[in-house]
Structure 1
Amino acid sequence: MKLNQQDLQILSKAAIHAAQQAGQLISSYSQQKMAVKNKGVGDSLASQVVTEVDLMAQEMILNSLAAVTKQYDLGTLGEESPDNHERFEKDYFWCIDPMDGTLAFIKQRHGYAVSIGLVSQAGEPVIGVIYDPLTQTLYKAAKGQGAYRNGQKWQVSIPEEAPLHLISDTSFQDLPQFEQSLQELEIISQKMGYQGLQTRFQGGAALNACWVLEQAPACYFKYAKKELGGGSLWDYAASACIYQEAGAWVSDMHGNPLDLNRPDSTYLNHRGILYATSEKLAREIIALGERMCQENGDQ
């Protein structure tokens, strides 16, 4: 089965409705103290924490999408449930993060969002919906239909005489190559004619990607690493579609398409991730990643 443009419109509307419903649920708990559990996976605190709100939001999303999921014979992959391997059996599967940025939610900081993507069995993102409950901002895209921010057509635009922005989660600051990375990005900024470097370490993967588009010229990346962690399929599926439709750059740290249906794991640590507001900037960061690998002796 291949989805046509009308199918994508129907499924996009369903994903938007589900994301906004879940966002309202999350907002209703945003000022309450939550019981926090540890999932015991990944190598960072952000990948390990989960609250009852994450679980309730995922159940709400799955229930909201149930009718179209059955109608179109779609698979599902959600962060808060075991991988059922439907993504290898169905032509398309929902890739759901009911609350990306749980750590920001726990700390009552801006940076959490609902993220719903639709991905083909080949790993191509065809729908992306991200909803920010705090600001009620809706980011959406469907293959061949453009990207939109709060209903307005959205294309990346790079202003003149602006600084280069590095946007990432707080774990980036814990990297052994953190200081060197900042120094290298300062050099890249100067080389490309930007006005210095500004950093923001705050949100989860979904909003970090959206903030990059809002603060061009900007980038968000994670170096490839051998340890499990560094983000999963559901962290990037929706934003990858939005970037493709917004005319921005998304890839792994080698410049290849994201492996959004990785067969042996849901993690993308093996190749890293790279979001950038232009191909030229992306190429500079890919070269930076290669230098870091050589200096650290990684393959």
Structure 2
Amino acid sequence: MQLTDQDLAALGEAATSAALKAGELISSHSSKKLNVENKGGADSLASQVVTEVDLMAQELILEMLDKYSKLFDLGTLGEESPDNHERFEKDYFWCIDPIDGTLAFINQQHGYAVSIGLVSKSGEPVIGVIFDPLKKILYKAVKGQGAFRNGRKWTVQSAKDAPLYLVSDSSFQDHPLFNESISELKAISEDLGYNGFETQFKGGAALNACWVIEKAPACYFKYPKKKQGGGSLWDYAASACIYSEAGAWVSNMHGEPLDLNRKNSTFMNHEGILYASTKEIANKITQINTKLKR
């Protein structure tokens, strides 16, 4: 079925309620001792760790969205459950990361969030809700209805006389192309007339994307690679919708739309990801990718 603007608005409200409730649950456990397990299957500690709170939060979200899923015949894809392939059968599917940035949550550091997206079968993100339970900030977007930060209209506003920011997770500092990338980004900052270059390495994918808009001019990216990893569909579905509505740039590292309903995997390593506050910055980074990955 084709969802109307009214349908999307209602589903956006449902996703918001679920994200806020999951955020309350997460906050209630943020200072408690956690049972941490390793689920394997990826290339970094951040993508392997899971706690009982991740599982509880996903169950809560699914319960709250269940009646809407039945009413609109929606599929589901959640990080903490096997891929049931409903995303290939339904016209739309929920794409849920109950705690994006679990490692930050375990370490009681800022950088974790609830992320809920709704994606069409073709891979287009149509709803995005990200809730930062530590700072109590809600980011939300519905296709064609704008992006909002704590209920206020939100669009990219690059600060004047500001540095170019690279926002990323800490694992990028161990990437073999890290030093070359930093040199190239400093050159981009100078070329585009920004006032220096700064970095921030701490968050999960959802908040890193939001922080790019907060810190504009800024960028966040992951290079393509053959090894599985590079984040998963649920890491980027919600923020991709927010970017589309906020006037920011989101694509793979070749400048093409993100493959948010990848056929043979949920990982995004095959094409990488690129978030930027402007198309101009994004174009420069795709050139870095071509240059350094030759």
Range class of TM-score, shorter chain? over 0.9
Partner of 1:21: 21
Partner of 1:297: none
1:1-299 to 2 correspondence within 5 Å?
Answer: 1-294=1-294
Displacement after TM superposition at 1:65 (Å): 0.3
- Structure 1 stretches of 5 or more lacking a match? 295-299
Kindly provide the CA deviation profile for residues 74-124 of structure 1, in whole angstroms up to 9, marking residues without a partner as x: 000000000000000000000000000000001100000000000000000
Displacement after TM superposition at 1:166 (Å): 0.2
Q: Distance in 2 between matches of 1:288 and 1:108?
A: 34
Displacement after TM superposition at 1:35 (Å): 1.0
Displacement after TM superposition at 1:56 (Å): 0.2
SS at 1:68 equivalent: helix
- Structure 2 stretches of 5 or more lacking a match? none
Displacement after TM superposition at 1:160 (Å): 1.4
Percent identity over the alignment is: 68
Q: Distance in 2 between matches of 1:244 and 1:271?
A: 19
SS at 1:259 equivalent: coil
Displacement after TM superposition at 1:240 (Å): 0.0
Q: Distance in 1 between matches of 2:40 and 2:111?
A: 22
Displacement after TM superposition at 1:292 (Å): 1.1
Once the two structures are overlaid, the 10-residue window that deviates more, 152-161 or 243-252, is 152-161
AA partner of residue 77 (structure 2): L
Q: Distance in 1 between matches of 2:170 and 2:14?
A: 32
SS at 1:61 equivalent: helix
Displacement after TM superposition at 1:9 (Å): 0.7
Q: Distance in 2 between matches of 1:169 and 1:32?
A: 24
SS at 2:17 equivalent: helix
Displacement after TM superposition at 1:40 (Å): 1.0
SS at 1:32 equivalent: coil
Q: Distance in 2 between matches of 1:55 and 1:76?
A: 15
Displacement after TM superposition at 1:134 (Å): 0.2
Q: Distance in 1 between matches of 2:158 and 2:170?
A: 25
Q: Distance in 1 between matches of 2:230 and 2:47?
A: 8
Displacement after TM superposition at 1:133 (Å): 0.2
Displacement after TM superposition at 1:260 (Å): 0.1
Displacement after TM superposition at 1:239 (Å): 0.1
Aligned residues between the structures: 294
Normalising by the residue count of structure 2, what TM-score does the alignment of the two structures yield?
1.00
Q: Distance in 2 between matches of 1:182 and 1:28?
A: 38
SS at 2:183 equivalent: helix
Displacement after TM superposition at 1:45 (Å): 0.5
SS at 1:138 equivalent: strand
Q: Distance in 1 between matches of 2:46 and 2:258?
A: 21
Displacement after TM superposition at 1:32 (Å): 1.1
SS at 1:14 equivalent: helix
Q: Distance in 1 between matches of 2:159 and 2:169?
A: 24
- Runs of 4+ aligned structure 1 residues displaced above 4 Å come to none
AA partner of residue 236 (structure 1): Y
Displacement after TM superposition at 1:41 (Å): 1.1
SS at 2:293 equivalent: helix
SS at 1:10 equivalent: helix
RMSD across aligned C-alpha pairs, in angstroms? 0.4
AA partner of residue 277 (structure 2): T
